[in-house]
Structure 1
Amino acid sequence: MQNDTDDTTSPEGRSPTGRRRSPFGHGIANIKSAWSSLLHHRGEHPDDTAARRVPRGIAGLCVAVTLSVAAVATAATMPPSSSGTLEGDMAAAPAITAQAGTVQAEIVQAARQGLGTEETGDNCQKYSDRCVAWCALFAMSTWEKAGVDVENEEFAFTGDVYTTGQAQGEAYGSDQLSNAKPGDVLLFGTGPENISSSRHIGVVERIEGDTVTLIEGNTGDNPDRVMRKEHELSAETFYGGVHPW
């Protein structure tokens, strides 16, 4: 019978007799060799058969250790599992923010600087000498600070921002909200016709998936102020938007 501890193998990993070597051969052979050396060190001179007889506990340990090493080696060569990770099509979309050095970035910065600004009375605020609803006044003031050709006091009514954007070729409807970008303004309601249909406006700070973060004036209560708020980017909320012209 071919000894599994035979160290002579062919290039194909087989012994000269053609049998494939046991993967545990080296481990068992090393244990047996150490056992034989121990017996000789103790002054005993066993014959070859005795020298090769290893106590079962030690032999079992050899097999267990060899199996553990083989398992670790196998695991190291296996490709990483994809379980527990997001697939590419399920990964969260990256946030869209304004590129530094652009007009859009300057608009967003101006809007951020206004955060926390409160009205001083019933609709009285620093964006106009008039005490009127001022969400559009604030939004247009951020464009004006960024160098956009606009006088914010011309836009006390949100619908006027949209119709002017249409005339400038920079407005988009509720079916094109995917065109929204940081620095744009988004219009709340159903259309620009009147104050009932065009109710509010906010400056786009960032977009992440279906969520848009706006910085809005004339928001909150007691007193109204400039606030950052998140909304679903949907036609149920917005009737359109306008790029800076």
Structure 2
Amino acid sequence: MLGVLTILAVAVATTVAVLTPSPTEAPSDGTRAPVITAAPGTVQEEIVTAARTELGTEEVGRNCHAYSEQCVPWCALFAMSTWERAGVDVETEEFAFTGDVYTTGRSRGTAYDSARLEQARPGDVLLFGTGPRTPASSRHIGVVEKIRGDSVTLIEGNTGDNPDRVLRRTHRLDANTFYGGVHPW
């Protein structure tokens, strides 16, 4: 019985996010919106840490970068490299297309669609566009760093001006921007 309780405690600890009051954003009812960050010691925290260490990293040629030998759009390769560095069982090279991250997450039971964006947590990835079918419908991906109210801060690869780089960006967490997200599997 003790072994089952230990496993349950570990499972709960790996999915918990930390809520902290936000001093800068208050909902219309006057209360403070919590900031959701990764819990210390979790895979999610390791993913966020891996993403943060890459902030400012620039591509070294037209879509050539440090996350793969493929000179292709690299936002998904960057995102999956953060998961891989945190110990998630993922082959980064298999995820050059953002839609493949979502469809793999769906097959593994860790994806959520735009109607369930409130499930987003630090360490997840969020997918920009309307769906996973083509590069035109699944345009970009970012690693969730934190969530504050209806805003999400992502660390994104292959973004910015010439040259593209890894940057931190804040977006409204809504279906007009994201078609879904994926928790680490």
Q: TM-score, normalised by structure 1?
A: 0.64
| 1:210 aligns to 2:169 (yes or no) | no
Distance 2:32 2:163 in 1: 36
Cα deviation, 1:146-203, whole Å, max 9, x if unaligned, reads 0000011110000000000000000000000000000000000000000000000000
Which amino acid in 2 is paired with 1:105?
E
Secondary structure, in 3 states, of the residue corresponding to 2:179? strand
Percent identical: 72
Instruction: Give the one of 65, 68, 72 matched to 1:125.
Output: 65
More strand, by proportion: 2
**Counterpart residue type for residue 37 of structure 2:** T
Larger radius of gyration, structure 1 or 2? 1
Question: Relative to structure 1, is the Cα distance of residues 121 and 93 closer, same or farther in structure 2, using a 3 angstrom cutoff?
Answer: same
CA apart distance, 1:130: 1.3
Give the gaps of 5 or more residues in structure 2: 1-25
1:175 lines up with 2:115 in the alignment: yes
Instruction: Give 1:60's aligned residue.
Output: none
The equivalent residue for 2:94 is: 154
Aligned-pair CA distance for 1:92: 2.1
Q: Using the alignment, how far apart are the partners of 2:41 and 2:118 within structure 1?
A: 23
Q: Which residue of 2 aligns with 1:138?
A: 78
1:199 correspondence with 2:155: no
One-letter identity of the residue aligned with 1:115: L
One-letter code of the match for 2:149?
G
Matched AA of 1:112: R
1:62-94 per-position Cα deviation (integer Å, ceiling 9, x unaligned)? xxxxxxxxxxxxxxxxxxxxxxxx899421211
1:212 and 1:203 map into 2 onto residues whose CA distance is 10
Q: Among 52, 73, 91, which residue is 1:112 paired with?
A: 52
CA distance in 1, matches of 2:146, 2:118: 13
Q: Which runs of 5+ in 1 are unaligned?
A: 1-85
* 1:1-245 pair list within 5 angstroms: 89-245=29-185
* AA at the equivalent of 1:91: T
RMSD over aligned CA atoms reads 1.3
- Distance across 2 between alignment mates of 1:87 and 1:182: 21
Cα distance in structure 2, aligned partners of 1:156 and 1:90 = 44
Higher relative contact order by CA 8 Å / sep ≥ 6: 1 or 2? 2
